[in-house]
Amino acid sequence: MNNKYNFDIVVLNKDEIRNRLTDQQIIEYYLGQELVFGKKYHSPFRDDKNPSLSFLGFGNGTVFWRDWGNPHVDKAQDVFSFVEKIFNCTFPEALAYINRDFGLGLDAPHRLLTENTRSIDIPKVRKVEIKADSNKIIEVENRVFSASDLSYWMDYGIFIRTLVKYQVFPVRYVWIDKILVRRSTESNPVFAYLLLNPIVMENKYKIYSPMAATKHKWLTNASSDVIQGLEQLSYSRSNLIITKSLKDVMVLDSLGFDAVAPQSEGTPISLAAMADFKRYYGSNIIAFYDNDEAGMITSANLARTHRIKRMYLDEDTNVKDISDYVKEYGIIKAEKLVGLLIEKAKYIN
């Protein structure tokens, strides 16, 4: 029998999950914050006025938890029982929730190559860069999040629920006008941002290759009309932060702040868009760009043009933006810092 492909079933079990995710990634996702061993957290299972939930990590990557304020839980339990408790479900159901929420694609057919890969026609990739051009047609082939994908985003405090909220997803291939221009690999992953143009109500893409050389990091067919994060605004938080990238928008959202970003750092915010923001947020709108020369100039111009406040990271933080701050110092410190910066934010002449 000369079949080109062999089809196999990858069973949904805890071993297959742990081959793709760490216990810490699972806990952090469902806990909704960075995991610090030795710290006590408010239990998500009940009204917990005094933090009583703690986690213990072992050298092999296994994480156990215990809710000290619950007299019915007298011993440490594993990560899967944590998910069972979160959803009040059975063990198989907990596995299914993890499989779904992390996009693992387990318990589904996986195609395995059995022939020499030289017999497979692998398309060549043309490395191109394009500026914002709404006439370009970008097409993508989706893939599931890998453990390394999630690890990359979680370094910035961005969990999968935030990626789903902002329609950021991993892709295998990217075509521009039917020409293959990007292929994702383990060492050079590719992500797509699905953006809505509010003028023509049409979806556009922004393609992000974080590990690529600078000139190959970005592709887009979105115009300057697109404001990143606009669809996801809660309009219920006290302040609106205007920052320079969707990554920073997602970080700020994870920290509990409403934020948007123009298409690029140098793209201005229109008078119409700013008027709409002021209708909801009043005078509580703050420009927050990189603390390098370009970012400081751009945020100053934005603040002067629209008569809004400005804030920025001090040079002694040794990072240029809030994303890098979270990666360097953690979510908890970042949340406190942004709160302090908002209090000190000022108008400029």
- Tens-digit pLDDT profile for residues 289-327: 999 999 999 999 999 999 999 999 999 999 999 999 999
Quick one: 268 and 315 in the same domain? yes
The pLDDT tens digits of the residues spanning 57-87 come to 887 889 999 888 776 666 788 999 999 988 8
Q: Within 10 Å of residue 130's Cβ, how many Cβ atoms?
A: 15
pTM score, two decimals? 0.67
- 23 part of a folded domain: yes
**Is residue 20 a part of any domain in this protein?**
yes
Please state, rounded to an integer, the average pLDDT across all residues of the chain: 84
Task: Note whether residue 289 is domain-resident.
Answer: yes
Task: Give the C-alpha separation, 248 to 143, whole Å.
Answer: 24
* Tokens linked to 314: 């001090």
CA distance linking residue 210 with residue 128, whole number of Å: 16
The count of structural domains within the chain is 3
How far apart are alpha carbons 4 and 119 in whole angstroms?
A: 10
Note whether residue 117 is domain-resident. Answer: no
Q: What range does the domain containing 88 cover?
A: 14-101
Q: Do 284 and 252 belong to one domain?
A: yes
Residues 32, 85: one domain?
yes
Pick the last residue of a domain from 85, 101, 117. Answer: 101
For residue 7, is it within any domain? no
Within-domain flag for 72: yes
The answer on 337 and 283 residing in a single domain is yes
Retrieve residue 2's tokens.
Answer: 């000369």
Last residue of a domain, one of 185, 220, 255: 220
Question: Is residue 109 situated within a structural domain?
Answer: no
* DSSP summary character for residue 261: B
What CATH number has the domain bearing residue 321?
3.40.1360.10
Q: What is the pLDDT of residue 258?
A: 97
- Indicate whether 195 and 284 sit together in one domain: no
Domain boundary residue, one of 51, 73, 101: 101
Torsion of CA 154, 102, 29, 157, to 10 degrees: 20
User: What is the domain-level CATH number for residue 97?
Assistant: 3.90.580
Q: Are residues 89 and 34 in the same domain?
A: yes
The reply to whether 127 falls in a domain is: no
Which of residues 4 and 339 earns the better pLDDT score?
A: 339
Q: Are residues 305 and 209 in the same domain?
A: no
